[in-house]
């Protein structure tokens, strides 16, 4: 099945691994691939048009904390600071856990257990991976 979203580049212009290119067998590679979908999704959600900070979330800024895009922007900023090539498993699982919360909260009640939309499928594999990590 063809994925809807295409390979993108992050703010620094570094290429991230494609979701479909899951040839990496390492757990960090798998985690980095899984983080691509929420990255893409949240980037679509967050509107940086009126952002004074160019999308760099700053905890010390009242404007950031009160921003309607607070959760997504904070996550994107955090992810930007993680280098998938050198990141630890716990860094990546931490980011994945937050992403699951975000994507899960974003899903409407219409999504049933056996729903096969992209977000539901992503949630399913992301949760599976977390479960396999906590064993
Ligand atoms: Zn669904």
How far is the centre of ligand 1, averaged over its atoms, from the C-alpha of 4 (Å)? 14
- Does position 15 have pLDDT exceeding 80, yes or no? no
State the Cα–Cα distance between residues 75 and 98, nearest whole angstrom: 8
Whether residue 45 contacts residue 54, with contact meaning beta carbons closer than 8 Å, is answered with no
For ligand 1, the distance from its centroid to the CA atom of residue 70, given in whole angstroms, is 24
Q: What is the pLDDT of residues 19-72, one digit of tens each?
A: 554 444 688 889 999 999 999 999 999 999 999 999 999 999 999 999 999 999
pLDDT at 6: 55
Ligand 1 center to residue 64 CA distance, Å? 30
Centre of ligand 1 to C-alpha 118, Å, is 7
What residue segments make up the domains of the chain, in order of their start? 27-134
* CA–CA distance, 63 with 60 (Å, rounded to integer): 9
CA of 109 relative to ligand 1 center, distance in Å: 9
Q: Which tens digit of pLDDT belongs to each residue from 98-108?
A: 999 999 999 88
Residue 99 C-alpha to ligand 1 middle, in angstroms?
16
| pLDDT of 122 strictly over 80 | yes
75-107 in b/e form (b: 16+ CB < 10 A) is: bbbebbebebeebeeebbbebbebbbebbeeee
Cβ–Cβ < 8 Å for 28, 89: yes
């Amino acid at each position: 099945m063809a994925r809807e979203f295409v390979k993108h580049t992050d703010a620094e212009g570094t290429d991230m691994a494609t979701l479909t290119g899951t040839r990496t067998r390492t757990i960090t590679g798998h985690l980095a691939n899984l983080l691509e979908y929420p990255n893409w999704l949240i980037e679509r959600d967050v509107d940086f048009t009126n952002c004074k900070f160019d999308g760099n979330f700053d905890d010390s800024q009242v404007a950031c904390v009160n921003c309607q895009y607070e959760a997504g922007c904070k996550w994107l900023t955090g992810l930007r600071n993680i280098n998938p090539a050198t990141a630890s498993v716990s860094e990546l699982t931490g980011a994945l856990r937050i992403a699951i919360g975000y994507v899960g909260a974003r899903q409407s009640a219409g999504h049933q257990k056996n729903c096969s939309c992209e977000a539901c499928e992503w949630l399913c594999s992301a949760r599976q991976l977390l479960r396999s990590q906590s064993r």
